[in-house]
Structure 1
Amino acid sequence: MRATLPLAAAYEPPSAAVVVLAGILALLITTVGWPTLRHIIAMAHLGGYATAASFVGKVTGVELTRGRALLKYEHPGSWLAKFAVAWSGYTGPPAFGLLGSFLLVKGQVEAVLWVSLVLLFLLLLSVANWFGRIAVILTGVALWAVARYAPDGLRELFAVTWVWFLLIGGVVNTVDLRRIRRAMKADKKPDKKSDVVKLWQLAWIPPPIGVALFWLLSVAALVVGAGVMLGLVEMPSAPAAPAAPTATPT
């Protein structure tokens, strides 16, 4: 008989042991596989773009290549629309990871996987290049296979690792931005297209400050998400329903 990891009862959060094990796995996977797995974080980056753009305009297409993530959208040309989109890319992966931690603490392990699949499907509808389509499809197939066929314990461990990966990958993504900008500066190639340059053009936020803000927000999301999953940060609960009136004997 194949041994499986124990799964918490329905609607119970994963145990602290599973959360810690998943965090270690996510850290190792991110460290070793970042050159390849960064494309998955780029999908969440594009998802952040697309979410903001859908509120302020209309997404006309996205592209995911080996070197960059690009959004094409129509907007009313307002300062707020441009600022929202520029701000939403690097905050996308940490935000999705944080939302995943909120679902996990409510015991919604399967919801984490199926919601991720729905978001990937919506992203696929807008991807305009073949590399991006193949990357999104392969990621979606992996999530679907786990959600549909994996044993309960393995599915739980995968979902928690997935959330950790989004949170950790969000931090590494901002560190990568700093590394790329330094390399471009060393090669005397000015950065003209990154989100921090757009924030400088829109709000006079100096690019180094923009990188630091993205990093601080991603670290804050990682700390909060970890605290939520480990039970160190208590989620607000819904108010209790008022007790039904009792009949008074006459």
Structure 2
Amino acid sequence: MNVASITEMWHRLTGTQPDPSRWLVLATGLLALTAVLMRGVWHVTRNAVTIAHEGGHGLLALLSGRRLDGIRLHSDTSGLTVSRGKPHGLGMVLTAAAGYTAPPLLGLAGAGLLAAGHITALLWGATALLLVMLVMIRNAYGALTVVTACALFLLVSWLTKAQVQAAFAYLVVWFLLVGGARPVAELQNSRRRDRTNSSDADQLARLTHTPAALWMLFFYAVALCSLIGGGRWLLGR
């Protein structure tokens, strides 16, 4: 790869792209809402939320100085991130809190990039994050899921026209924003139905000696605030 090619790629990454039409922004938002609300579709698309969820656990584990042993993604859209370090303290709290907050916060960050016209940066950044996560995947289904997602981002960013790239980028960001709250609602229903005490909220409750309901409220607040803020950015308000 010569200097001219590297320079061109850098300009594509840091440059801005034209804002899409308002109908495209609204249409992708409606499509994302459908993907979240329809049960049959959600069973498939929820894998994307699981990737973000477990990626959030993994990222905060590394940033807080813990040792990340691996990430597993399962066909029932559940996941598991294993890290080693002190079983208490701020690092453990941040790692446990990162899962349910990661999808909406990633959506908020993506909305900020799109509002600034950085569609290419969003697509390439997402691809890079998926490649980094792939290194830590420890099961075949998880590897297949991440490779598929990564390939999709690569194909869209390299082989499609600007309008298609914009539609895909807005759809992904809308989906993370809209879909950020449904896993929290599912967790609430699961805790009420099964009376389990092994969820992220229950783990955080034990780590901080606070009620699990407080952490459920925190998860909902992050999802709602991200949706409102990100939605305003995407709609140009």
Identity across matched positions, percent: 28
Kindly report which structure 2 residues correspond to 1:55-74, keeping only aligned pairs within 5 A, or say none: 55-56=63-64, 57-65=66-74, 66=76, 68-74=78-84
Higher Rg of the two aligned structures:
1
Q: Distance in 1 between matches of 2:120 and 2:25?
A: 15
Match of 1:203 in 2: 208
Shift in CA distance, 167/128, structure 1 to aligned 2, threshold 3 Å = same
Q: Distance in 2 between matches of 1:194 and 1:172?
A: 15
What amino acid sits opposite 2:68 in the alignment? V
**Structure 1 position 205, deviation (Å):** 2.6
Match of 1:5 in 2: none
**Structure 1 position 78, deviation (Å):** 4.5
Match of 1:173 in 2: 183
Q: Distance in 1 between matches of 2:119 and 2:178?
A: 19
In the alignment, structure 2 segments of 5+ residues that lack a partner are 1-14
Match of 2:94 in 1: 84
Match of 1:212 in 2: 217
Kindly report which structure 2 residues correspond to 1:1-250, keeping only aligned pairs within 5 A, or say none: 10-32=16-38, 33-56=41-64, 57-65=66-74, 66=76, 68-185=78-195, 191-232=196-237
Match of 1:245 in 2: none
Match of 1:3 in 2: none
**Structure 1 position 71, deviation (Å):** 1.0
Bigger helix share: 2
In the alignment, structure 1 segments of 5+ residues that lack a partner are 1-8, 186-190, 233-250
Secondary structure of residue in 1 paired with 2:23: helix
Residues matched between the structures, number: 219
What amino acid sits opposite 2:178 in the alignment? I
Is the 1:14–1:105 contact (alpha carbons within 8 Å) kept by the matching residues of 2? no
Is the 1:12–1:106 contact (alpha carbons within 8 Å) kept by the matching residues of 2? no
What amino acid sits opposite 1:98 in the alignment? L
Q: Distance in 1 between matches of 2:118 and 2:87?
A: 39
Q: TM-score if structure 1 supplies the norm length?
A: 0.82
Q: Distance in 1 between matches of 2:103 and 2:77?
A: 17
Q: Distance in 2 between matches of 1:67 and 1:36?
A: 8
**Structure 1 position 203, deviation (Å):** 1.2
RMSD of aligned alpha carbons: 1.7
Q: TM-score if structure 2 supplies the norm length?
A: 0.87
Secondary structure of residue in 1 paired with 2:181: helix
Secondary structure of residue in 2 paired with 1:123: helix
